Structure 1
Amino acid sequence: MSADPASNLASQPSRGLRTSAAGAVEVRRSARRRRTVSAYRDGDRTVVLIPARMSAAEEQRWVAVMLEKLAAQESRRMPGDDELAARAERLSEQYLHGHAVPDTVRWVTNQNSRWGSCTPAEGSIRLSHRLRGMPEYVIDYVLLHELAHLLVPGHGPRFWKLLESYPRTERARGYLEGVDAVDRLPDPQRDLDTARE
Protein backbone atom coordinates (compact mmCIF):
# COMPACT_ATOMS: atom_id res chain seq x y z
CA MET A 1 0.00 0.00 0.00
CA SER A 2 1.36 3.38 -0.91
CA ALA A 3 2.30 5.69 1.93
CA ASP A 4 0.80 8.60 0.01
CA PRO A 5 -2.36 7.52 -1.81
CA ALA A 6 -2.36 10.61 -3.99
CA SER A 7 1.27 10.33 -5.13
CA ASN A 8 1.99 9.67 -8.79
CA LEU A 9 -1.61 10.31 -9.71
CA ALA A 10 -1.67 11.98 -13.10
CA SER A 11 -4.69 9.84 -13.77
CA GLN A 12 -6.66 9.01 -16.80
CA PRO A 13 -10.39 9.03 -16.17
CA SER A 14 -11.44 6.55 -13.54
CA ARG A 15 -13.00 3.30 -14.66
CA GLY A 16 -15.70 3.99 -12.13
CA LEU A 17 -17.04 2.44 -9.01
CA ARG A 18 -17.89 -1.23 -8.79
CA THR A 19 -18.82 -3.41 -5.89
CA SER A 20 -17.19 -6.50 -4.50
CA ALA A 21 -17.71 -8.61 -1.40
CA ALA A 22 -15.52 -6.02 0.39
CA GLY A 23 -17.70 -3.09 -0.73
CA ALA A 24 -17.29 -0.41 -3.40
CA VAL A 25 -14.01 -0.45 -5.34
CA GLU A 26 -12.77 2.44 -7.48
CA VAL A 27 -9.93 1.75 -9.90
CA ARG A 28 -7.83 4.73 -10.96
CA ARG A 29 -5.41 4.35 -13.86
CA SER A 30 -2.30 6.52 -13.97
CA ALA A 31 -0.05 7.13 -16.96
CA ARG A 32 2.78 8.01 -14.54
CA ARG A 33 2.65 4.61 -12.82
CA ARG A 34 4.89 2.06 -14.48
CA ARG A 35 4.86 -1.02 -12.27
CA THR A 36 3.45 -0.25 -8.86
CA VAL A 37 -0.06 -0.95 -7.65
CA SER A 38 -1.38 0.52 -4.41
CA ALA A 39 -4.66 0.69 -2.57
CA TYR A 40 -6.23 2.54 0.31
CA ARG A 41 -9.59 2.88 2.03
CA ASP A 42 -11.57 6.05 1.42
CA GLY A 43 -14.55 5.87 3.75
CA ASP A 44 -16.62 2.85 2.74
CA ARG A 45 -14.87 2.35 -0.59
CA THR A 46 -11.48 1.07 -1.65
CA VAL A 47 -9.38 2.97 -4.19
CA VAL A 48 -6.92 0.90 -6.22
CA LEU A 49 -4.24 2.77 -8.19
CA ILE A 50 -2.81 0.92 -11.20
CA PRO A 51 -0.66 1.68 -14.28
CA ALA A 52 -2.72 2.90 -17.26
CA ARG A 53 -1.31 0.21 -19.58
CA MET A 54 -2.59 -2.68 -17.46
CA SER A 55 -5.05 -5.06 -19.18
CA ALA A 56 -8.55 -5.69 -17.82
CA ALA A 57 -7.50 -9.19 -16.67
CA GLU A 58 -4.43 -7.79 -14.85
CA GLU A 59 -6.60 -5.11 -13.29
CA GLN A 60 -9.06 -7.69 -12.01
CA ARG A 61 -6.25 -9.83 -10.56
CA TRP A 62 -4.57 -6.85 -8.88
CA VAL A 63 -7.82 -5.56 -7.40
CA ALA A 64 -8.35 -8.98 -5.76
CA VAL A 65 -4.74 -9.03 -4.48
CA MET A 66 -4.97 -5.53 -3.03
CA LEU A 67 -8.34 -6.16 -1.35
CA GLU A 68 -6.86 -9.23 0.29
CA LYS A 69 -3.78 -7.29 1.47
CA LEU A 70 -5.88 -4.47 2.92
CA ALA A 71 -8.16 -6.94 4.72
CA ALA A 72 -5.12 -8.70 6.22
CA GLN A 73 -3.66 -5.39 7.40
CA GLU A 74 -6.95 -4.32 8.95
CA SER A 75 -7.51 -7.61 10.73
CA ARG A 76 -4.08 -7.24 12.34
CA ARG A 77 -4.95 -3.70 13.48
CA MET A 78 -8.51 -4.24 14.65
CA PRO A 79 -8.90 -6.03 17.97
CA GLY A 80 -11.38 -8.91 18.09
CA ASP A 81 -14.52 -8.96 20.24
CA ASP A 82 -12.70 -10.62 23.17
CA GLU A 83 -9.97 -7.99 23.17
CA LEU A 84 -12.61 -5.28 22.85
CA ALA A 85 -14.42 -6.65 25.93
CA ALA A 86 -11.14 -6.71 27.90
CA ARG A 87 -10.47 -3.15 26.80
CA ALA A 88 -13.95 -2.10 27.97
CA GLU A 89 -13.32 -3.67 31.37
CA ARG A 90 -9.97 -1.87 31.66
CA LEU A 91 -11.51 1.49 30.64
CA SER A 92 -14.41 1.06 33.08
CA GLU A 93 -11.96 0.39 35.93
CA GLN A 94 -9.69 3.27 35.00
CA TYR A 95 -12.27 5.98 34.27
CA LEU A 96 -15.62 4.86 35.69
CA HIS A 97 -14.48 3.17 38.93
CA GLY A 98 -15.56 -0.19 37.48
CA HIS A 99 -19.26 0.76 37.65
CA ALA A 100 -19.99 0.15 33.94
CA VAL A 101 -20.09 -3.61 33.36
CA PRO A 102 -21.38 -4.60 29.92
CA ASP A 103 -22.66 -8.12 29.20
CA THR A 104 -21.44 -7.98 25.59
CA VAL A 105 -19.05 -5.78 23.63
CA ARG A 106 -18.64 -6.45 19.92
CA TRP A 107 -17.89 -5.05 16.47
CA VAL A 108 -20.77 -4.71 14.03
CA THR A 109 -20.93 -3.92 10.32
CA ASN A 110 -24.45 -2.49 10.20
CA GLN A 111 -23.74 0.90 11.84
CA ASN A 112 -22.89 3.37 9.12
CA SER A 113 -24.32 6.53 10.64
CA ARG A 114 -23.00 6.20 14.20
CA TRP A 115 -19.72 5.11 15.75
CA GLY A 116 -21.18 3.01 18.52
CA SER A 117 -24.36 2.13 20.32
CA CYS A 118 -25.43 0.86 23.70
CA THR A 119 -28.55 -0.90 24.94
CA PRO A 120 -28.45 -0.40 28.73
CA ALA A 121 -31.34 -2.81 29.38
CA GLU A 122 -29.35 -5.62 27.72
CA GLY A 123 -25.93 -4.42 28.80
CA SER A 124 -24.75 -4.58 25.19
CA ILE A 125 -22.27 -2.31 23.45
CA ARG A 126 -21.64 -2.34 19.69
CA LEU A 127 -18.88 -0.47 17.87
CA SER A 128 -18.98 0.28 14.16
CA HIS A 129 -16.47 -1.46 11.90
CA ARG A 130 -15.78 2.02 10.46
CA LEU A 131 -13.57 2.65 13.52
CA ARG A 132 -11.05 0.06 12.32
CA GLY A 133 -7.70 1.57 11.56
CA MET A 134 -8.42 4.69 13.62
CA PRO A 135 -6.06 5.63 16.45
CA GLU A 136 -6.49 3.64 19.66
CA TYR A 137 -7.41 6.73 21.68
CA VAL A 138 -10.39 7.28 19.34
CA ILE A 139 -11.61 3.68 19.72
CA ASP A 140 -11.11 3.97 23.50
CA TYR A 141 -13.15 7.18 23.55
CA VAL A 142 -16.07 5.60 21.65
CA LEU A 143 -15.92 2.55 23.90
CA LEU A 144 -15.84 4.74 27.03
CA HIS A 145 -18.71 6.84 25.63
CA GLU A 146 -20.84 3.71 25.29
CA LEU A 147 -19.77 2.45 28.72
CA ALA A 148 -20.94 5.76 30.20
CA HIS A 149 -24.35 5.13 28.61
CA LEU A 150 -24.70 2.02 30.76
CA LEU A 151 -24.70 4.42 33.72
CA VAL A 152 -26.45 7.47 32.21
CA PRO A 153 -28.69 6.89 29.16
CA GLY A 154 -28.83 10.46 27.76
CA HIS A 155 -26.25 13.12 26.88
CA GLY A 156 -26.95 15.48 29.75
CA PRO A 157 -24.45 17.07 32.16
CA ARG A 158 -24.19 13.89 34.29
CA PHE A 159 -23.16 11.91 31.19
CA TRP A 160 -20.44 14.37 30.12
CA LYS A 161 -19.17 14.60 33.70
CA LEU A 162 -18.37 10.86 33.50
CA LEU A 163 -16.18 11.43 30.44
CA GLU A 164 -14.24 14.36 31.92
CA SER A 165 -11.62 12.04 33.39
CA TYR A 166 -10.63 10.67 29.97
CA PRO A 167 -7.85 13.06 28.87
CA ARG A 168 -8.41 12.65 25.14
CA THR A 169 -12.17 13.18 24.97
CA GLU A 170 -12.03 16.48 23.08
CA ARG A 171 -9.26 15.29 20.76
CA ALA A 172 -11.16 12.09 19.89
CA ARG A 173 -14.41 13.98 19.36
CA GLY A 174 -12.58 16.38 17.05
CA TYR A 175 -11.09 13.48 15.11
CA LEU A 176 -14.50 11.85 14.63
CA GLU A 177 -16.12 15.17 13.66
CA GLY A 178 -13.37 15.60 11.06
CA VAL A 179 -14.03 12.15 9.61
CA ASP A 180 -17.76 12.92 9.46
CA ALA A 181 -17.07 16.26 7.75
CA VAL A 182 -14.87 14.63 5.10
CA ASP A 183 -17.56 12.02 4.44
CA ARG A 184 -20.05 14.84 3.73
CA LEU A 185 -17.77 16.70 1.30
CA PRO A 186 -18.79 16.51 -2.34
CA ASP A 187 -16.79 13.98 -4.35
CA PRO A 188 -16.46 15.33 -7.92
CA GLN A 189 -15.36 11.95 -9.29
CA ARG A 190 -18.29 10.12 -7.66
CA ASP A 191 -20.68 12.81 -8.92
CA LEU A 192 -19.22 12.44 -12.44
CA ASP A 193 -19.56 8.64 -12.31
CA THR A 194 -23.17 8.98 -11.12
CA ALA A 195 -23.95 11.43 -13.93
CA ARG A 196 -22.63 8.92 -16.49
CA GLU A 197 -24.95 6.13 -15.30
Structure 2
Amino acid sequence: MGEVEIRRSARRRRTIQAYRDGDRTIVLVPAHLTPEQEREEVARLVARLDARAERSPRSDAALMARALELSERYLDGRARPTSVRWVTNQSMRWGSCTASTGTIRISHRVRDMPDYVVDHVVLHELAHLVEANHSRRFWALLEGYPHAVKAEGFLEGVSWQQR
Protein backbone atom coordinates (compact mmCIF):
# COMPACT_ATOMS: atom_id res chain seq x y z
CA MET A 1 0.00 0.00 0.00
CA GLY A 2 1.68 3.20 -1.18
CA GLU A 3 4.87 4.75 0.07
CA VAL A 4 6.73 3.61 3.21
CA GLU A 5 8.37 6.33 5.28
CA ILE A 6 10.92 5.25 7.87
CA ARG A 7 11.52 7.56 10.80
CA ARG A 8 14.63 6.79 12.87
CA SER A 9 14.96 8.04 16.42
CA ALA A 10 17.97 7.98 18.72
CA ARG A 11 15.57 8.24 21.67
CA ARG A 12 13.64 5.14 20.63
CA ARG A 13 15.48 2.18 22.16
CA ARG A 14 13.49 -1.02 21.67
CA THR A 15 10.03 -0.52 20.26
CA ILE A 16 9.20 -0.43 16.59
CA GLN A 17 5.85 0.92 15.48
CA ALA A 18 4.01 1.25 12.18
CA TYR A 19 0.79 2.97 11.21
CA ARG A 20 -1.02 4.17 8.13
CA ASP A 21 -1.46 7.83 7.29
CA GLY A 22 -3.62 7.95 4.19
CA ASP A 23 -1.72 6.08 1.44
CA ARG A 24 1.59 6.18 3.33
CA THR A 25 2.90 3.74 5.90
CA ILE A 26 4.94 5.38 8.65
CA VAL A 27 7.42 3.13 10.47
CA LEU A 28 9.12 4.37 13.65
CA VAL A 29 12.39 2.55 14.38
CA PRO A 30 15.33 2.92 16.77
CA ALA A 31 18.32 4.56 15.06
CA HIS A 32 20.69 1.78 16.20
CA LEU A 33 19.16 -0.94 13.99
CA THR A 34 21.36 -2.30 11.25
CA PRO A 35 20.07 -1.86 7.69
CA GLU A 36 19.27 -5.58 7.56
CA GLN A 37 17.33 -5.48 10.87
CA GLU A 38 15.49 -2.41 9.69
CA ARG A 39 14.50 -4.06 6.37
CA GLU A 40 13.25 -7.17 8.19
CA GLU A 41 11.26 -5.21 10.76
CA VAL A 42 9.76 -2.85 8.20
CA ALA A 43 8.72 -5.79 6.00
CA ARG A 44 7.20 -7.59 9.00
CA LEU A 45 5.21 -4.57 10.18
CA VAL A 46 4.00 -3.59 6.71
CA ALA A 47 2.84 -7.19 6.15
CA ARG A 48 1.01 -7.07 9.48
CA LEU A 49 -0.75 -3.83 8.56
CA ASP A 50 -1.67 -5.26 5.15
CA ALA A 51 -3.10 -8.39 6.78
CA ARG A 52 -5.15 -6.28 9.18
CA ALA A 53 -6.48 -4.20 6.27
CA GLU A 54 -7.45 -7.38 4.37
CA ARG A 55 -9.33 -8.74 7.39
CA SER A 56 -11.21 -5.49 7.76
CA PRO A 57 -11.86 -3.97 4.36
CA ARG A 58 -13.07 -0.51 5.18
CA SER A 59 -13.14 1.38 1.92
CA ASP A 60 -15.32 4.43 1.35
CA ALA A 61 -17.67 2.24 -0.71
CA ALA A 62 -17.93 -0.31 2.11
CA LEU A 63 -18.55 2.49 4.59
CA MET A 64 -21.36 3.91 2.45
CA ALA A 65 -22.94 0.46 2.09
CA ARG A 66 -22.74 -0.04 5.84
CA ALA A 67 -24.32 3.38 6.45
CA LEU A 68 -27.27 2.53 4.21
CA GLU A 69 -27.70 -0.79 6.02
CA LEU A 70 -27.64 0.93 9.42
CA SER A 71 -30.14 3.53 8.23
CA GLU A 72 -32.53 0.77 7.15
CA ARG A 73 -32.10 -1.24 10.34
CA TYR A 74 -32.20 1.49 12.98
CA LEU A 75 -33.71 4.58 11.32
CA ASP A 76 -36.33 2.97 9.04
CA GLY A 77 -34.30 4.16 6.04
CA ARG A 78 -34.99 7.83 6.81
CA ALA A 79 -31.32 8.83 6.67
CA ARG A 80 -30.16 8.92 3.04
CA PRO A 81 -26.59 10.20 2.87
CA THR A 82 -25.20 11.47 -0.42
CA SER A 83 -21.71 10.35 0.60
CA VAL A 84 -20.01 8.65 3.52
CA ARG A 85 -16.23 8.57 3.53
CA TRP A 86 -13.13 8.25 5.66
CA VAL A 87 -11.13 11.45 6.23
CA THR A 88 -7.75 12.16 7.78
CA ASN A 89 -8.35 15.77 8.79
CA GLN A 90 -10.45 15.13 11.91
CA SER A 91 -8.31 14.83 15.01
CA MET A 92 -10.84 16.12 17.54
CA ARG A 93 -14.03 14.44 16.28
CA TRP A 94 -14.98 10.87 15.49
CA GLY A 95 -17.25 11.98 12.67
CA SER A 96 -19.16 14.88 11.20
CA CYS A 97 -22.27 15.44 9.17
CA THR A 98 -23.37 18.25 6.92
CA ALA A 99 -27.12 17.75 6.96
CA SER A 100 -27.77 20.29 4.20
CA THR A 101 -25.71 18.27 1.70
CA GLY A 102 -26.12 14.79 3.20
CA THR A 103 -22.36 14.38 3.52
CA ILE A 104 -20.92 12.27 6.34
CA ARG A 105 -17.21 12.11 7.15
CA ILE A 106 -15.74 9.57 9.56
CA SER A 107 -12.30 10.05 11.09
CA HIS A 108 -9.65 7.58 9.94
CA ARG A 109 -8.93 7.05 13.67
CA VAL A 110 -12.17 5.05 13.86
CA ARG A 111 -11.26 2.75 10.94
CA ASP A 112 -9.45 0.08 12.99
CA MET A 113 -11.84 0.18 15.94
CA PRO A 114 -14.26 -2.71 16.55
CA ASP A 115 -17.25 -2.93 14.20
CA TYR A 116 -19.75 -2.01 16.92
CA VAL A 117 -17.84 1.26 17.51
CA VAL A 118 -17.67 2.11 13.79
CA ASP A 119 -21.39 1.37 13.50
CA HIS A 120 -22.14 3.60 16.49
CA VAL A 121 -20.20 6.55 15.04
CA VAL A 122 -21.81 6.13 11.60
CA LEU A 123 -25.27 5.77 13.12
CA HIS A 124 -24.75 8.92 15.20
CA GLU A 125 -23.92 10.88 12.05
CA LEU A 126 -26.81 9.31 10.14
CA ALA A 127 -29.18 10.43 12.90
CA HIS A 128 -28.09 14.01 12.19
CA LEU A 129 -29.58 13.66 8.71
CA VAL A 130 -32.95 13.17 10.43
CA GLU A 131 -32.41 15.52 13.40
CA ALA A 132 -29.65 18.08 12.83
CA ASN A 133 -29.10 18.73 16.56
CA HIS A 134 -28.66 16.83 19.82
CA SER A 135 -32.25 17.18 20.99
CA ARG A 136 -34.27 14.52 22.77
CA ARG A 137 -35.67 13.46 19.40
CA PHE A 138 -32.11 12.98 18.12
CA TRP A 139 -31.14 10.75 21.07
CA ALA A 140 -34.40 8.81 20.72
CA LEU A 141 -33.32 7.84 17.20
CA LEU A 142 -30.25 6.09 18.62
CA GLU A 143 -32.03 4.15 21.39
CA GLY A 144 -32.46 1.08 19.20
CA TYR A 145 -28.74 0.47 18.78
CA PRO A 146 -27.88 -2.25 21.32
CA HIS A 147 -24.15 -1.48 21.62
CA ALA A 148 -24.38 2.28 22.18
CA VAL A 149 -23.24 2.26 25.82
CA LYS A 150 -20.36 -0.12 25.12
CA ALA A 151 -19.27 1.93 22.08
CA GLU A 152 -19.42 5.21 24.02
CA GLY A 153 -17.29 3.63 26.74
CA PHE A 154 -14.75 2.48 24.16
CA LEU A 155 -14.54 5.94 22.58
CA GLU A 156 -14.26 7.59 25.99
CA GLY A 157 -11.38 5.27 26.87
CA VAL A 158 -9.57 6.06 23.64
CA SER A 159 -10.10 9.79 24.20
CA TRP A 160 -8.78 9.55 27.75
CA GLN A 161 -5.73 7.58 26.63
CA GLN A 162 -4.87 10.19 23.99
CA ARG A 163 -4.85 13.12 26.43
| Interval containing the TM-score (normalised by the shorter chain) | 0.7 to 0.9
Q: Which residue of 1 aligns with 2:127?
A: 148
Task: Kindly state the Cα deviation for residue 96 of structure 1 after the two structures are TM-superposed.
Answer: 0.3
Question: Contact 2:94–2:121 (CA<8 Å) still a contact in 1?
Answer: yes
Residues 79-118 of structure 1: pairs in structure 2 closer than 5 A: 79-118=58-97
User: Structure 1's 48 and 125: CA in aligned 2 closer, same or farther, altered over 3 A?
Assistant: same
- Highest CA radius of gyration, 1 or 2? 1
CA distance in 1, matches of 2:77, 2:129: 12
Query: CA offset at residue 63 of structure 1?
Result: 4.7
Instruction: Could you tell me which runs of 5 or more consecutive residues in structure 1 were left unpaired when the two chains were aligned.
Output: 1-19, 31-37, 185-197
Give the structure 2 partner of residue 175 of structure 1: 154
Please give the secondary structure, in 1, of the residue aligned with 2:91. coil
C-alpha change, 1:133 and 1:94, in structure 2 (3 Å) is same
- Structure 2 counterpart of 1:150, one-letter code: L
Task: Report the Cα offset of residue 22 of structure 1.
Answer: 6.0
One-letter amino acid of the counterpart of residue 142, structure 1: V
Which of 8, 17, 42 aligns to 1:64? It is 42
d(CA) in 1 for partners of 2:65, 2:49: 23
Quote the Cα distance in structure 2 between the aligned partners of 1:140 and 1:86.
12
TM-score, structure 2 normalization: 0.79
Matched to 2:129, the amino acid is: L
With over 3 angstroms needed to count, the CA separation of the structure-2 counterparts of 1:175 and 1:147, relative to structure 1, is: same
Deviations 1:99-125 (A, max 9, x none): 000000111111111111111111011
Match of residue 14, structure 2, among 6, 9, 29: 29
User: 2 CA distance for matches of 1:149 and 1:122?
Assistant: 12
1:119 counterpart = 2:104 = no
Q: Distance in 2 between matches of 1:132 and 1:125?
A: 14
CA deviation after TM superposition for structure 1 residue 75, in Å: 2.3
Aligned in 2, Cα 1:139/1:165: closer, same or farther, shift over 3 Å? same
Shift in alpha-carbon separation, 1:75–1:64, aligned structure 2, 3 A: same
2:117 corresponds to: 138
Q: Work out whether 1:160 is the aligned partner of 2:145.
A: no
CA contact (8 A) 2:18 2:45 kept: no
Following the alignment from structure 1 to structure 2, what is the Cα–Cα distance between the partners of residues 155 and 71? 36
| Contact kept in structure 1, 2:8 and 2:29, CA below 8 Å | no
Q: Tell me how far 1:128 sits from its aligned partner.
A: 0.8
Give the direction of change, closer, same or farther, for the CA distance of 1:127–1:71 in structure 2 (3 Å limit): same
Aligned AA for 1:29? Answer: R
Corresponding residue number in structure 2 for 1:12: none
Identity %: 45
- Report the Cα distance in structure 2 between the residues aligned to 1:24 and 1:48, rounded to whole angstroms: 5
When normalised by structure 1's length, the TM-score is 0.67
Q: What is the Cα deviation at residue 40 of structure 1?
A: 6.1
Question: What is the aligned residue count?
Answer: 153
